[in-house]
Amino acid sequence: MKYYLGIDIGSISTKGVIIDENNCIIASKYLWTEGNPIIAVKNLIKNLKEQIKDNIKVKAVGTTGSARKLIGTILNAQVVKNEITAHAIGTLSLYPDVRTIFEIGGQDSKIIIIENEIVVDYAMNTLCAAGTGSFLSSQARRLGMEVEEFGAWALKSNNPTKIAARCTVFAESDLIHKAQIGHKKEDIIAGLCDAIVTNYLNNVGKGKKIKPPIVFQGGVSKNIGVIKAFEKAIGEHIYVDKNGHLMGALGVAILAKDSKMEQDFDFNIEDIQFETKGIECRGCANNCEIICVYKNDTLIDAWGNRCDKGSIKKETSKM
């Protein structure tokens, strides 16, 4: 049997899966990017290798997420796809009837509308972190608890506090004020969950035709308080898969499988030195920033130029 690797690398977390020809996940890993996608991917590859048998051969690689191009270059990936496509393909493989996908990650959120297994509309919010995983984590620290406890605390509330969550700064000041005037912790947490849902529906979901079945994914989908707030707001059941945090990686692994461009993947990248370097092209008025990627001091790729004056040949010595 052949196997395929999919990696979803974002600003907060890095996810990876290895699937077989039937799209079954045989190995997976979720870890923090910590501001260094190259190191994160090296750790990810090492961990995935430890989970599989030595005779398993990965025949194709796909990457998605905000660092997909960089990691795709490093791993010589056959497929590099945007998050919308990857999340849709991954979700459809498990929920073929899905019509709406809610996704709230570490620093952004998105909505995907599907009809007849085709993406017909989508929206992303990348301008403000209000309502994302990083926002919830910061509020958890402010309240002196782990973010994993939020859901259970929210379910204890019978009177959620009204929290203004359209802006991170306003939400934090409002949360402090409500705590200082004596609102219960569980009511504040439940209010935050409600505010996250309201903010999402009024911004990311604005003007979208939200139809069931609805699948909720991303790190925030692990928060039962937010799930219940969504169900209360839209009056529909929300599906959350146990592998919801891996949907992007699963989707791009399936795309790599379907590409039919097979080449054995070498897991032994731990000792290879990868480095990126930004240079400014002064060939014209655009002054493009060219991103150069080096493997053991050899240029393997470069991008960012908007005209031929900024093109850089591959496989040259490091400047």
pLDDT for 70 equals 94
Res 319 pLDDT > 60: no
Mean pLDDT, to the nearest integer, of 225-237? Answer: 93
Average pLDDT over the chain, rounded to an integer: 88
pLDDT for 126 equals 61
DSSP 264-306: ------TT--EEEEEEE--SSTT-PEEEEEEETTEEEEEE--S
Give the span between the Cα atoms of 72 and 265, in whole angstroms.
12
Reported as a pLDDT band with limits 50, 70 and 90, residue 315 is: low
pLDDT for 165 equals 65
The candidate with the shortest Cα–Cα distance to 239, out of 67, 91, 129, 119, is: 91
The candidate with the shortest Cα–Cα distance to 7, out of 82, 65, 70, 69, is: 65
Q: What would the two tokens of residue 172 be?
A: 């934090």
Mean pLDDT, to the nearest integer, of 64-87? Answer: 94
Q: What is the pTM of this model?
A: 0.86
Give the span between the Cα atoms of 7 and 251, in whole angstroms.
9
pLDDT for 316 equals 46
Q: What would the two tokens of residue 284 be?
A: 């014209």
- Tokens 């990126």 locate to 276
Highest mean pLDDT among 85-99, 185-199, 280-294: 85-99
Mean pLDDT, to the nearest integer, of 55-76? Answer: 94
pLDDT for 152 equals 86
Res 92 pLDDT > 80: yes
Q: What would the two tokens of residue 301 be?
A: 């790729």
Task: Work out the percent of the chain whose per-residue pLDDT is above 70.
Answer: 94
Give me the phi and psi of 13, to 5 degrees please: -130, 155
Domains and CATH numbers, the chain: 3-88+248-259 (3.30.420.40), 97-240 (3.30.420.40), 274-310 (no CATH)
What is the tens place of the pLDDT at every residue in 20-36?
999 999 999 999 898 89
Task: Work out the percent of the chain whose per-residue pLDDT is above 90.
Answer: 50
